[in-house]
Chains A and B, each alone.
Chain A
Amino acid sequence: EVQLLESGGGMVQPGGSLRLSCAASGFALNNYAMSWVRQTPGKGLEWVSAISGGGGSTYYADSVKGRFTISRDESKNTLFLQMDSLRAEDTAVYFCAKDGVVAAPQYFDSWGQGTLVTVSS
C-alpha cells in the first residue's frame, strides 16, 4: 500500500526558511515522479514543484522558482522541499503527491495528508 507522510510544517517569519519532508512507503521514489502541491486555506490547489523519477529532473512554478528546492533521498525513500525567503503568500497546506508515471509532472494518484506552513511575523 502506498503511503505518504509529510512533516516539517510550522510557523516561520517572513524571509525565513523551512524544510518539508515526505516519507514514502509501498513504492520506490526513484520509480515515479513526485510533486509538492499547496492549498491556501479555503482556496484551491496550486502545483509548486516536481522531480521526475529516474534521473531526477526538477521543475518549479514561477511563484517559487529561485526560492524553493525539491530533492529526494533514495536511501531513505524520502522527498524534501527546502523553502527559503518565505513570504506571507506561501502560507498554505503543503501536500506531497505521487505521480502516476515516471515523467513529471502529470497526474497524482496518491497524496499525503498535508502539512501546514504559516508565514507570519
Chain B
Amino acid sequence: DTVMTQSPATLSVSPGERVTLSCRASQSVSEFVAWYQQKPGQAPRLLIYGASTRATGIPARFSGSGSGTEFTLTISSLQSEDFGVYYCQRYNDWPPRVTFGQGTRLDIK
C-alpha cells in the first residue's frame, strides 16, 4: 500500500509570505496526486489534480509540482483566507482506491 507522508505537520505563516507544503509517496505514483484544502466544519475543496493542474476556480497563487515520489503545493503569497488543513492524495492505484496524507495544518500568523 502507498503511504503518503506530509510535512510539516503544522505551519504558521504571515500574510504575503510564500508557503511550501510537501508530500512524499512511499512508491512512485507518477503524477497522480491531488491536493485539497479543508477549513473547520467544511468539506475538503479540490485545489490541484494531476500534480500540477489547478481545479476550476482556484486562484493562481496556488500551484502544484512534482512527480514520482516527491510533490509540493506552493502558495505564492499567503492570504488570510488560506488557513486550514491541506491534504495530498494519490489516485490511479490498483486495485482502485485512493490514499490521503495525514494533512498539514496551516495557520495565519
B44 & A47 in contact (Cβ 8 Å cutoff): no
A30 → B minimal CB distance (Å):
17
Residues on B with beta carbons closer than 8 Å to the beta carbon of A100: 46, 49
A35 to B100, CA, bound (A): 14
> Which single member of A44, A104, A107 contacts B34 (CB below 8 Å)?
A107
Interface residue range, chain A: 20 to 34
B3 contacts partner chain A, Cβ-Cβ < 8 Å: no
A56 contacts partner chain B, Cβ-Cβ < 8 Å: no
Q: Which of A12-20, A73-81, A110-118 contacts B (4 or more CB under 8 A)?
A: A110-118
A105 to B44, CA, bound (A): 16
Measured CB to CB, the residues of A under 8 A from B are 35, 44-47, 50, 59, 61, 95, 100, 103-109, 111-114
Residues on B with beta carbons closer than 8 Å to the beta carbon of A107: 34, 46, 49, 89, 91, 98
Q: A100-B49, A107-B49, A113-B43 are in contact. Are A45 and B91 (CB under 8 A)?
A: no
In residues 16-71 of chain B, which contact A (Cβ within 8 Å)?
32, 34, 36, 42-46, 49, 55-56
Q: A44-B87, A44-B103, A106-B91 are in contact. Are A111 and B96 (CB under 8 A)?
A: no
Residues on A with beta carbons closer than 8 Å to the beta carbon of B96: 50, 59, 103-105
A47 & B87 in contact (Cβ 8 Å cutoff): no
A105 & B91 in contact (Cβ 8 Å cutoff): yes
A44 to B97, CA, bound (A): 16
B100 & A106 in contact (Cβ 8 Å cutoff): no
B10 contacts partner chain A, Cβ-Cβ < 8 Å: no
Residues on A with beta carbons closer than 8 Å to the beta carbon of B76: none
Q: A44-B87, A112-B43 are in contact. Are A105 and B49 (CB under 8 A)?
A: no
B39 → A minimal CB distance (Å):
12
Q: Which residue of B lies closest to A110 (CB)?
A: B46
Q: A105-B91, A107-B91, A109-B55 are in contact. Are A47 and B98 (CB under 8 A)?
A: yes
- A35-B98, A47-B97, A106-B32 known, 4 other contacts, Cβ within 8 Å: A59-B97, A108-B44, A109-B46, A112-B43
Q: Which residue of B lies closest to A49 (CB)?
A: B97
Q: Which residue of B lies closest to A106 (CB)?
A: B91
